[in-house]
Amino acid sequence: MSQSESDALVFFGATGDLAFKKIFPALQAMAKRGHLDVPVIGVARPEWTVDQFRARARASLEMHGGIDPVAWEKLCGLLRYVSGDYSDPATFQALRKALGAAQRPAHYLAIPPQMFASVVAQLERSGCAKGARVLVEKPFGRDLASARELNRILLESFDESAIFRIDHYLGKRPVNNLHFFRFANEFLEPIWNHRYIESVQITLAEDFGVQGRGGFYEETGAIRDVIQNHLFQVLTNLAMEPTVSTGSKSIRDEKVAVLKAIPPLETKDLVRGQFKCYRGEKDVAPDSRVETYAAMRLEIDTERWQGVPFYLRAGKCLPITFTEVVVRLRRPGNLYRDLNLKPNALRLRISPEILFALGMNVLGPDEQKPGQSVEMVACRQHGADEKAAYERVLGDAMEGDATLFARQDYAEEAWRIVDPVLKADTPVHEYEAKTWGPKGFEAIVSPAGGWHNPS
């Protein structure tokens, strides 16, 4: 183990939903690859024994990916459990004891942000913060002011280099690799600007609802849940200037530069929607005004992107589940104007499969309709992202590699952009489940040529 590697992983919220769905499977995968060799200490309120905690981990794996007997055996041997209230100093004394000889623990706060302050203060007081890293889950705050306050709290006890703000989208290889695609292809750079590109659209569509997370969703909504973080990460990867190196500082600097060039979102550039049965979900207010769908138009005020609209949209209960970028080029010159040809478009699908495709016009067989739009699929990979996002981000944080994490300035800039619309009480339009959002508003925030809605 290198000197910078964490020598214990502590996770708060160990009996919660996120741990059940994502963290235990990621830990088993790390153990399987030989990337987990340190004590894993779960902390939570229920007064469980370590065997009950192991049973929970086992149940999680059975439901999410299955048990790998060898890796499970290994993980099982690493699991420890500390029960207690997060505001009680005794919990942290017990944690200090459980940490034993560990000198560089990684504390993962998979808990609601309103608990961060007390947990961080207790970590400091009990000596558990010494030499440690802290990993925090998104959403990082709920607006600009609360994000600043969270940063203030974290920075009181931890150096910025020891703070890892998790956005699991960055652990997705195809998101992270947009940087590779941009800068490993010479043909792209000459056209990657306002002279050739007419619009960029990014969609994160899900064909399911809030899946029992009504309480969480009531506090977030689509903008806070996936746009301000996941889709902004996709956007900054697409729009950044060439980085001076592939190092984390350089990449993070350029992403922040993109955000800094985006003016605050105006209410006229936003459509919010709510799927029809949302108010009947568990823990959802009967008069809830939380959006389960949002579409927005952003601009990036740089030389490269002058006048190019960036459209972002995300929604629950839409017809299908996919995340995709469509970059539309300007229409071809005058020669074939009468044929009303489609603009060339680059389609980058991030999930469920990875796809790079280029739409182009060719002469079709039909004399009456000579122009034909075709798509050249350059690459299609199913299930290629074998290493799941949480495995990647947890592993990187424990190794101290910050590339896949949002820096303080990034988190605050991202909130600055959406802050005005979060405060403005804009209308929320109802939409039927399995449709592409509220009807009649498609034209208000939508790219020329419309959204790309696959069937």
Q: Shortest approach of ligand BG6 to residue 107 CB, angstroms?
A: 20
Task: For 102-117, give one letter per residue: b (16+ CB within 10 A) or e.
Answer: bebbbbbbbbebeebe
Residue closer to ligand BG6 by CB (options 223, 226) is 226
The count of residues in the chain is 455
H/E stretch holding 350: strand 345-351
Q: Which two tokens stand for residue 412?
A: 């605050």
Site for ligand BG6 in 351-370 (CB under 6 A): 351
Q: Shortest approach of ligand BG6 to residue 285 CB, angstroms?
A: 18
Residue closer to ligand BG6 by CB (options 162, 294) is 294
Distance CA 43, CA 108 (A): 10
Residue closer to ligand BG6 by CB (options 132, 226) is 226
Q: Shortest approach of ligand BG6 to residue 22 CB, angstroms?
A: 9
Check residue 335 and give left, alpha or beta (phi > 0: left; psi -120 to 50: alpha).
alpha
Residue closer to ligand BG6 by CB (options 83, 203) is 203
Asked if 296 and 311 touch (Cβ cutoff 8 Å), the reply is: yes
Q: What is the 3-state secondary structure (H, E, C) of 130-194?
A: CCCEEEECCCCCCCHHHHHHHHHHHHHHCCHHHEEEECHHHHCHHHHCHHHHHHCCCCCHHHCCC
Does position 94 interact with ligand BG6 (CB under 6 A)? The reply is no
Q: Shortest approach of ligand BG6 to residue 226 CB, angstroms?
A: 5
H/E stretch holding 310: strand 309-315
For residue 105, say if its preceding peptide bond is cis, omega within 30 degrees of 0.
no
Q: Shortest approach of ligand BG6 to residue 105 CB, angstroms?
A: 25
Residue closer to ligand BG6 by CB (options 206, 324) is 206
Which value, to the nearest 10 degrees, does the dihedral of the CA atoms of residues 336, 341, 342, 346 take?
A: -40
Does position 225 interact with ligand BG6 (CB under 6 A)? The reply is yes
Does position 137 interact with ligand BG6 (CB under 6 A)? The reply is no
Residue closer to ligand BG6 by CB (options 204, 298) is 204
Phi and psi at residue 426, to the nearest 5°: -75, 155
Does position 324 interact with ligand BG6 (CB under 6 A)? The reply is no
| Dihedral sign, Cα of residue 175, residue 180, residue 186, residue 192 | positive
Q: Shortest approach of ligand BG6 to residue 296 CB, angstroms?
A: 17
Task: Give the binding-site size for ligand BG6 (rule: CB under 6 A).
Answer: 4
| Annotation says 230 is catalytic | yes
Residue closer to ligand BG6 by CB (options 9, 350) is 350
Distance CA 226, CA 351 (A): 14
CA distances from 132 to 124, 158, 160, 400, 444 (A): 10, 8, 12, 11, 48
Residue closer to ligand BG6 by CB (options 198, 291) is 291
Residue closer to ligand BG6 by CB (options 162, 204) is 204
Closest-by-Cβ residue to ligand BG6 is 225
Tokens 């839409």, residue located: 318
Q: Shortest approach of ligand BG6 to residue 27 CB, angstroms?
A: 17
Distance CA 299, CA 264 (A): 9
Strands 105-109 vs 8-12: parallel, antiparallel or unpaired: parallel
Q: Shortest approach of ligand BG6 to residue 424 CB, angstroms?
A: 23
Asked if 298 and 309 touch (Cβ cutoff 8 Å), the reply is: yes
User: Site for ligand BG6 (CB under 6 A): which residue of 178, 226, 270, 346?
Assistant: 226
H/E stretch holding 250: helix 248-260
Q: Shortest approach of ligand BG6 to residue 55 CB, angstroms?
A: 25
Catalytic hit among 168, 194, 230, 452: 230
128 Cβ contact list (under 8 Å, min separation 6): 10, 92, 95, 96, 99, 105, 107, 122
3-state secondary structure of 9: strand
Site for ligand BG6 in 189-218 (CB under 6 A): 206
Q: Which residues are catalytic?
A: 230
Site residues for ligand BG6 per CB under 6 A: 206, 225-226, 351
